[in-house]
Structure 1
Amino acid sequence: MNLYTLHKLAKPTLLLVLLFCFSTSNALDLSSLSSSNVSQVQLAIYDIKPASFPIDQLESIVLESVKEYASGVAASRYVTNEKMPDTPGKITFNNMQIMTLTISVPVCTGAVSVIGSKDTSMARFGESIVSMACIFAYNDGYRVDYYAKYSDNNNTSTAAGLGSLLGKSIARSIGLGDSSKFIYKTIDTMEQKFSASGIQYKLVDADPAIANKTVQPDEIVTRNEAQKNADAIKNQELSARKELTSIGLNASSQKQLFEAIQHGDKLAVQLFIQADSLDLTMPDSTGLTPLQVAKNPYIIDMLKQAGAR
């Protein structure tokens, strides 16, 4: 039977405590970690469009996909009246100290819905899966961040542990066991339900890579990088103009640019290029371009790289 609870919260703190307690309930004996501890993690991030798709329906798709392969599920919807951001949030990880153990806890700050789960159907063989699916809303749509961790703990120092290991080996020999496959079945099920609902979705990140799935270019990352580059160029231009002013030069003075070139003033020429206030292909009153009057090889190279001809 699936344990399913739905909470409507204004702040994420309570949910994180709930999910942490939930994910550590029925935990295996920590002493087994010293015997054999095999674990694997998977992160998959989907971009969902359109933004008009009902959040209730999207939450239901993710919830039902997770419930299908988990023995316990807890879901929370956050109440927010804030304006949707241009860029969606993303799952992050905080370290939590529990006695002598440091546990990495997934955090979904800014999510409109969080679904946590734990599967203990193979607990008698030392296996468990904990997962968290975070739904982030933004202006153009949604992001679904799905994180899962599979643990396989064997305590071979006891007769019971050896028996569990033997049982696991027998189960796997006939094609049973290894519940890590439920992580990928959950991901497949989400994709199937996305398609069936008619929404547009694409996998924009997978860490590690998932077999038979292709990560698509993330337009948000591309847009942010382009904006970052544009901001860097703008800051460089402003900085160069200020520096020219500080040494008594005007970034918009073609005459001063030609004088700097003719005098071999490499620093001043470099600042004029970085300031980007002048057309480096424009001739002066004598009909010569900056490149034609340059004699210094270093300055000639700088001008060519900047597009002068």
Structure 2
Amino acid sequence: MKQFAILSAAVAAAALAGCASTTPTVETTPGYAIYDIKAAPGVTHSQVAEAVKTSLQKNMSAVQITNAIPPSPLPEKAPRFQLVSPFKGSNLAALAAASGQNLQVPTCEGAIMTAQAGDSSMRKYGEATSFFACVMPYQGGWSLNVYTTFRKASGAFNAQTLAATLMKPLTGDSSQFIPRTINGMVEAVKATGATVTLVEAFPS
């Protein structure tokens, strides 16, 4: 009965939204944002890192934090995250490439805090969001780097994804919450007294 109700809603949505593809499709979309943080007097490494962690805990389903000591000496320029392939040159990398998969992962050299977080609240509708965030100190302050991936399944995988696919032209998907989560991190850092400036972002 429940599946019938979902399919009925999907049919109604299709009538409103027009022609929508029901071909089973999985799509992964990356994005990133890089912020420069300038400290006010008294703002410490731990305060900045704690602000980022607390903000992610408020918005994500699960968070994993790795803390580290600052590099010595601190770099002169603000560092930036890099995408690396941990299996480069291996048979696993070749197999992944042949199947169209990208095994690049973000890394932050010299980070005092690295966070990996995910939101699985919309998984039954074929959507999942992951966040990688790091705080890297340098002589002028800190660099906050946030790398995101949004994965969505659409089409006729099951009744839930079909209904979600047909409703998306009207309601959108959960990727719209990614900017809100990033803004939450920025506001949390600003609350320490630090000044935060966007340096680079994709999509812009």
- TM bracket, shorter-chain basis: 0.7 to 0.9
- Contact between 1:130 and 1:148, CA under 8 Å: does it hold in 2? yes
Letter in 2 for 1:200: T
Partner Cα separation in structure 1 for residue 63 and residue 144 of structure 2: 17
**RMSD (Å), alpha carbons:** 2.4
Match of 1:70 in 2: 60
Alpha-carbon deviations, 1:231-259, whole Å to 9, x = none? xxxxxxxxxxxxxxxxxxxxxxxxxxxxx
Q: CA contact under 8 A between 2:81 and 2:109: conserved in structure 1?
A: yes
Which amino acid letter does the alignment assign opposite residue 56 of structure 2?
A: V
2:33 pairs with 10, 21, 44, which one? 44
Q: Aligned runs of 1:1-309 on 2, under 5 Å?
A: 35-50=24-39, 53-80=43-70, 82-97=72-87, 98=92, 100-101=95-96, 102-154=102-154, 156=156, 161-169=157-165, 172=168, 175=171, 178-209=173-204
How far the C-alpha of 1:90 sits from its partner, in A, is: 1.2
Determine if contact 2:76/2:138 at 8 Å carries over to the other structure. Answer: yes
Give the drift of 1:96.
3.8
**CA–CA separation in structure 2 for the residues paired with 1:174 and 1:88:** 41
Kept after mapping to 2: 8 A contact 1:41/1:148:
yes
Percent of residue pairs identical:
26
Match of 2:8 in 1: none
- C-alpha separation in 1, matches of 2:37 and 2:190: 11
Find the aligned partners of 2:193 and 2:167 in 1 and give their Cα distance.
39
Matches of 1:131 and 1:151, distance apart in 2: 12
Which secondary structure state, in structure 2, belongs to the residue aligned with residue 83 of structure 1? coil
> What's the CA shift for 1:190?
2.0
Structure 2, unaligned runs of 5 or more:
1-22, 97-101
Encode CA deviations 1:66-96: one digit per residue, 9 max, x unaligned.
2222111001111346221112321101124
**8 Å CA contact 1:45, 1:206 repeated in 2:** yes
Higher-Rg member (1/2) = 1
Runs of 4+ in structure 1 off by over 3 angstroms are 96-99, 169-175
Q: Which has the higher strand share?
A: 2
Q: Quick one: structure 1 residues 153 and 173, their matched pair in 2 at CA, closer, same or farther if it must change by over 3 Å?
A: closer
Q: How many residues were matched structurally?
A: 171
Higher alpha-carbon deviation: 119-128 or 42-51: 42-51
Q: Secondary structure at the match of 2:134?
A: strand
CA distance change for structure 1 residues 134 and 55 in 2, over 3 Å: closer, same or farther?
A: same
| Inter-partner Cα distance in structure 2 for 1:59 and 1:122 | 28
How many Å separate the matches in 2 of 1:180 and 1:111? 27
**How many Å separate the matches in 1 of 2:134 and 2:60?**
16
- Please, what TM-score do these two structures have when normalized by structure 1? 0.50
**CA shift for structure 1 position 155:** 6.5
